[in-house]
Chains A and B, each alone.
Chain A
């Protein structure tokens, strides 16, 4: 390699800057939504006061990562993974119930949500496994183990009763795509979602009829090509079978409140006072912000606590109301810049472990960002996942910070990586 080997590279300042911009913007939003007044008054019993502590803790944790040997995380990645999976398992039995999900440990007034940190463990384990020189990506064994790394936390979190947080782990498919997973898998996934949605919308029977008629029409056009014809009908029957499966799962496996939630999300059930209440209030708050917003600390909906969970999962409503479309767009652009930067960092890594890890970070952050904002404007179902660096709460802020800072740690050390695997 070049003379720069063993050279000391520096922490990526752009990422760091974007991180602090988001954290500060997030703090301002929490300050507003937790009744901060124009006269700032430091009070650690308030939510914004506590958030200051969490920001400080996060920065300390992030900085501490730089003190630890860079090999540590790679070497102990499986141990990390195992540790957090164990906690996810234990919380099912020893956790406290919050909003119907048993996903929090409570030790005194201190609370910990292992699901937030499990992302970190999965990211490390996945990076380690995918980057392992012995891994044969084409083998069934590889595929099964990869699936197991992703599916284990999902299963455990669903058992806690918090399906939303579980969904986050599907975002790692993006990492696998980057590392060579066939694009067809993604297309298949999207098709599966579309058929499921159509099933809810029109019902199983109508969907079957439509598929049969469609297949019939195609048959009429290509009846000479028997091998094509065979595939058309196999596809149609697969779709029908899958649709039936979705139908069955919806009607027999889901509980009533889960069914309702899906129907409300798909716009098939109007329920402004019940499940749709949050989204309705969220849309009103954001929509009333207008182009420029109502001004900081001037949001009537924010001040009046109209949006439930505003300081956590619906923190974006405070931005939308007080800073308007301009402010919302600025926040989205800063996020996108961060994602672009992370993607750039990823591609400049010499170590495959580091690159895969960087994509893990990107996937998790992007999924949270996309779903969280989309749900506040009724483009995605209300699954309780936080907006990275914005939402109130220690667990999520510390875990996102650690996730990102470890990437910075790896990146800062990239010149020292003699990637033996290449």
Chain B
């Protein structure tokens, strides 16, 4: 029997051998490879998301502009067990054909994220009621509710921005992995800039689910759950009254208005035209409106207040006068001769006819070009500068400190820097230091290479109103305001020089180019401008602030293709000021107001 007893040993060895194979494979599955643990987690735990209400947006007086209404999506959870799925019944519930259901399931599967795919987006109220009723039969589906934006005041679309479904790219950039597919995110404007503040924090409740997707008890008794926190309310600096008013005034025109409270840098209104109503980009409307507006040749999506740049024209003379006074190349009494313009060799810069030999105040009042051509020479070619580059950089330094030619850093994106060329640019064109003021003389009257956005012009106006400093223009107001916006930006121009220049701007309104739009009882200081437009009629520009002492509002308006600054931009500016200061009282100039409301400036009828 020894032979057969050897066999019993072989059998025992075989048993141990096979047992070791099992143990080794188990060791691989359970200890070495960790992919199964991850799969298990994704399969068996479902996070039920609690979406907090998005923060409301109000104007500066706590008037609500944006609030929420609920939107509902039907989502499907994967893995999807077809065996337990009654397709016919489901087709009846959602009122789709079998093919459509299959197709949507396939789409949801291919675009699923964290085991969840979108089956129907934005259920209508009736769909929502019907589907919610019968959904208990289909535990693999659930309705997820989100908020959509609603607008109490359907204004300021470019400022507010919009909210929409997060894109794949944004999801990939979301390093904190806060967002899931199908969720919403602020796409532009304040909705985007203050996304983290507005969105709040979603809550997550973790449940165990079974293989049909049915929820069972709380995972680990809810110890991993997180509480939802409601989005914070965003108080903006906007004033609904003049924002709404500005949009009406700009109707039918192309251009923009920016109004700033000088003492804080808060933007009171930012109007761009042609524009659109913000509710056109509410989630439920976005699909049908977006491509239409995006392809509109009038570019209603373009925020002209920050993204369009123009030569500031004569409004720039305010800055020029201040620099010349600060550099002490002129005094308030310095006069330059003007014989219907500035003449140097073959170069002529024409001037409107006015009494000869203006001083600085009078040059602002009458917008004398010759004065600034001369002043530019004095600024750039001082004895202390060895080269034109030094003189030019000194001058340019003032502009940079005034926030011109670079982005200001407001709290909406889409800001364009404009252009204040550096010396290197002219070195390239004319040769190293082989140029002088005459070569760049058009910049002295706000033309040539100089390009500013309406936002920068308004900010320049605010800086003048403040007598020498500004705060970065911004839309946020109240306790959440970042430090950047409370920091004073000094321009290095002494307050005493402003008296002269502001007197000039006041004279513009009383006796000068803006005289016909003055308003009894409000001391407005302003400056007209006309930006040369090589493509058509000139752009009408106006900057102003009021009242002269303790200014409450600084404003800039550009109306494209509208001719002289005094004809269109000035009335709009002063009407805005009047509305802001006198609030509810009716305009003292109803005819002018009505003309602004009703006139349209198209390519055919450029100006009267």
Contact = CB atoms under 8 A, between A and B. Distances in A.
A and B: real partners? yes
Interface stretch (A85-93, A256-264, A282-290): A282-290
B120 interface: no
Interface string A335-346: 110011001001
A332 interface: yes
A324 interface: yes
A283 B36 contact: yes
Interface string B26-57: 11011101011101110111000000000000
Nearest to B38: A288
Interface string B466-485: 00000000000000000000
A336 to B, nearest CB: 5
Contact of A290 (B37, B79, B209): B37
A178 B7 contact: yes
Contact of A284 (B16, B36, B217): B36
Most chain A beta-carbon neighbours within 10 Å: one of B15, B30, B209? B30
Given A304-B210, A306-B44, A370-B22, A377 B11 contact: no
B82 to A, nearest CB: 8
28 contacts: A177-B11, A283-B29, A284-B39, A284-B40, A285-B40, A286-B36, A287-B29, A287-B36, A290-B37, A291-B30, A300-B41, A300-B44, A300-B45, A303-B44, A304-B208, A305-B211, A306-B211, A320-B29, A321-B40, A325-B27, A325-B30, A329-B23, A332-B23, A336-B16, A340-B12, A343-B11, A347-B8, A362-B11
B25 interface: yes
Given A287-B30, A304-B211, A306-B43, 20 more contacts: A177-B7, A283-B29, A284-B36, A284-B39, A291-B30, A291-B31, A300-B44, A300-B219, A301-B43, A303-B208, A304-B216, A321-B40, A325-B27, A329-B23, A333-B19, A335-B19, A336-B15, A336-B19, A340-B12, A374-B22
A273 B109 CA distance: 13
Interface in A56-91: none
Contact of A377 (B12, B26, B210): B26
Interface in A285-332: 285-291, 300-301, 303-306, 308, 320-321, 324-325, 328-329, 332
Contacts of A339: 12, 15
A303 B209 CA distance: 8
B18 interface: yes
Contacts of B29: 283, 286-287, 320, 377
Contacts of A180: 4
A300 B208 contact: yes
A373 interface: yes
A306 B210 contact: yes
Nearest to B44: A300
A328 B4 contact: no
Interface in A332-371: 332-333, 335-336, 339-340, 343, 346-347, 362, 366, 370
A328 B28 CA distance: 13
B333 interface: no
B347 interface: no
Contact of A346 (B8, B37, B41): B8
Interface of A: 174, 177-180, 273, 281, 283-291, 300-301, 303-306, 308, 320-321, 324-325, 328-329, 332-333, 335-336, 339-340, 343, 346-347, 362, 366, 370, 373-374, 377, 379
B126 interface: no
B30 A286 contact: yes
A339 B8 CA distance: 11
B5 interface: yes
Shortest Cβ-Cβ A-B pairs, 9 listed: A287-B36, A288-B40, A300-B44, A287-B29, A304-B210, A325-B30, A288-B37, A305-B210, A304-B44
Chain B contact residues: over half helix, strand or loop, or mixed? helix
A227 to B, nearest CB: 30
A325 B11 contact: no
A204 B27 CA distance: 36
A286 B210 CA distance: 16
A364 to B, nearest CB: 13
A379 B40 contact: no
Nearest to B212: A305
Contacts of B15: 336, 339-340, 343, 366
A320 B210 contact: no
A105 to B, nearest CB: 27
Contacts of B211: 281, 304-306, 308
A284 B25 CA distance: 13
Central interface residue in A284, A336, A340, A373, by most chain B CB within 10 Å: A284
A294 to B, nearest CB: 9
Contacts of A336: 15-16, 19
A178 B11 contact: yes
A91 B245 CA distance: 90
Interface residues of B, number: 39
A257 B23 CA distance: 31
Contact of A300 (B4, B16, B40): B40
B31 A332 contact: no
A394 B78 CA distance: 35
Interface string B214-225: 001101000000
Chain A contact residues: helix, strand, loop or mixed:
helix
B21 interface: yes
B22 A320 contact: no
Nearest to B21: A379
Given A178-B11, A373-B22, A347 B31 contact: no
Given A300-B41, A343-B12, A379 B22 contact: yes
Contacts of A178: 4, 7-8, 11
Contacts of A374: 22
Contacts of A333: 19
Which of A283, A287, A332, A339 has the largest number of chain B CB atoms within 10 A? A287
B8 A287 contact: no
Contacts of A335: 19
Contacts of A290: 30-31, 37
Contact of B18 (A281, A321, A370): A370
Nearest to A305: B210
Given A287-B35, A288-B39, A328 B26 contact: yes
Given A343-B11, A343-B12, A379 B25 contact: yes
Interface centre among A180, A300, A335, A340, by most chain B C-beta atoms within 10 angstroms, is: A300
Given A286-B29, A304-B211, A343 B43 contact: no
A350 B265 CA distance: 106
Contacts of B12: 339-340, 343
A359 B4 CA distance: 12
B428 to A, nearest CB: 64
A151 to B, nearest CB: 22
Given A304-B210, A304-B211, A343-B11, A179 B36 contact: no
Contacts of A320: 26, 29-30
Contacts of B44: 300-301, 303-304, 306
A289 to B, nearest CB: 5
A273 B23 CA distance: 27
Contacts of A329: 23, 26
B22 A332 contact: yes
Nearest to B35: A287
B117 to A, nearest CB: 15
Contacts of A286: 26, 29-30, 36
A159 B39 CA distance: 39
Contacts of B22: 332, 370, 373-374, 377, 379
Contacts of A283: 29, 36
Nearest to A291: B31
A306 to B, nearest CB: 5
Contacts of A343: 8, 11-12, 15
Nearest to A174: B11
A343 B4 CA distance: 13
B11 A284 contact: no
B102 to A, nearest CB: 15
Given A180-B4, A336-B16, A288 B41 contact: yes
